[in-house]
Amino acid sequence: MNKQRVLFLCTHNSARSQMAEGLLRALAGDRFDVASAGTEATGVHSLAVRAMADVGLDIGRHTSKTVDTLLDQPWDHVITVCDSANERCPVFPKKTRRLHWSFSDPSQATGATEDRLNVFRRVRDEITARLTAWLETAPVARGEGITVDVVRLAEKFGKFSDAWSPKVVGEVNGMHVKLVKLRGEFVWHHHEREDELFLVVHGRLRMQLRDGDREVGPGELIIVPRGLEHCPRALTDEVCVLLLEPAGTLNTGNVQNERTVAELERI
Ligand code: NI
């Protein structure tokens, strides 16, 4: 069975995200590969280790990691477990299924060690309850219960008319398959990290590049490498294009303007 990959995030990757990692692995390690990280790596809190040892779980060998070391891995779920009211929760920049569960930070507890340990135990139990509830409705393993449909491009293109506003019609290995209609000229831009594939379905596209233009007709495609400035232009009234690019790629790349579409519609 393919395991789903879950990443827990909190600020320091010291207590809550470490306990969540250990708890999920204990509860459903057969279904999930689990990791945790923070915006800073400050080491696993000794009281978190003790609170987990109380329920027979050893997280003493966990290490504290920063999220940037894990950015390039494919995660099925990214779950932040910080206190949204009192802290700045880490931001995971990639598009993926994200959940936020708010737990107070046990390391802020004051008083005698035993009192502080009790706060860790309480948060541990809150995380356990949350995980148990989540597992009941939890997403099935990859490939199970997923319907496989034929995507009919003509039908999909018939569902929208706005230009320069990509719609997501599928996902493959972290890439989005998008459909977009082009009319007139776009804006010059580049993408820092993403290569973009444009497959023309209808109409004619002129891909303007700094070293000259490329014309792309139906049944032809062009790949614009990352970092290269480009400006698509429709040579016919309307051009229907299929795009393949990493999920999260912004249509206007490094340029932010009224044509930037941050939240993509799925059709
Ligand atoms: Ni682009």
CA of 257 from ligand 1 middle (Å) equals 13
Give the tens place of pLDDT for each residue, 211-247.
Answer: 999 999 999 999 999 999 999 999 999 999 999 998 7
| Residue 71 resides in a domain | yes
231 flagged as catalytic? no
With beta carbons less than 8 A apart as the criterion, state whether 153 and 218 touch: no
Catalytic residue among 41, 57, 89, 201: 89
The encoded tokens of residue 163 equal: 């230009």
What local confidence, expressed as pLDDT, does residue 97 receive?
Answer: 83
Task: Mark whether 64 and 177 lie in a shared domain.
Answer: no
Q: What is the pLDDT of residue 152?
A: 95
* CATH assignment at residue 88: 3.40.50.2300
* CB atoms near residue 63 (< 10 Å): 10
Catalytic one among 6, 24, 28, 82? 82
- For the residues 77-105, what does the mean pLDDT come to? 84
Same domain, 167 and 84: no
- Distance in angstroms (rounded) separating the CA atoms of residues 196 and 186: 15
10 a catalytic residue: yes
Q: Tell me the per-residue pLDDT of 142-190, one tens digit each, with 9 for 90 and over.
A: 555 456 789 999 999 999 999 999 999 988 877 889 999 999 999 999 9
Q: Tens of pLDDT along 113-148?
A: 999 999 999 999 999 999 988 988 766 555 554 567
Q: Name the token pair of 144.
A: 């199970």
Q: Report which listed range, 33-37, 86-90, 200-204, 256-260, is most confident.
A: 200-204
CATH at 255: 2.60.120.10
What Å distances lie between residue 56 and 22, 23, 59, CA to CA? Answer: 11, 10, 10
Q: Are residues 167 and 87 in the same domain?
A: no
Cα of 235 to ligand 1 centre, how many Å? 17
Task: Report the pLDDT value the prediction gives residue 146, as an integer from 0 to 100.
Answer: 53
At 40 the pLDDT is: 85
**Ligand 1 centre distance from Cα of residue 109 (Å):** 49
The reply to whether 16 and 127 lie within a common domain is yes
- Report if residue 125 sits inside a domain: yes
Helix (H, G, I), strand (E, B) or coil at 158: coil
Cα of 252 from ligand 1 centre, angstroms: 6
pLDDT tens figures, 9-53: 998 899 999 999 999 999 998 888 999 999 888 899 999 999 999
What is the CA(7)–ligand 1 centre distance, in A?
Answer: 30
Boundaries of domain holding 172:
153-266
Of 10, 28, 47, 234, catalytic: 10
Helix (H, G, I), strand (E, B) or coil at 33: strand
Q: Is the pLDDT of residue 201 over 80?
A: yes
* Known catalytic residue at 89: yes
pTM over 0.85? The answer is no
CA end-to-end span of the chain = 30
Distance 245 CA to ligand 1 centre (A): 10
Number of domains composing the chain: 2
Task: Answer with the one of 76, 104, 136 that is the final residue of a domain.
Answer: 136
Asked if residue 70 has pLDDT above 80, the reply is: yes
Q: Long-range contact list for 105-112, CB < 8 A, 24+ apart?
A: 105/10, 105/11, 105/15, 105/16, 106/15, 106/16, 106/45, 106/47, 106/48, 107/12, 107/14, 107/15, 107/45, 107/47
Q: What residues does the ion ligand 1 have nearby, CB within 5 Å?
A: 253
Distance 20 CA to ligand 1 centre (A): 39
Strand pairing report for 239-246 and 212-216:
unpaired
Distance 64 CA to ligand 1 centre (A): 37
Distance between Cα 179 and ligand 1 center (Å): 13
- Would you say 153 and 201 are in contact if contact means Cβ atoms under 8 Å apart? yes
* pLDDT number for residue 258: 85
Residue 145 inside a domain? The answer is no
Query: Are 172 and 120 found together in one domain?
Result: no
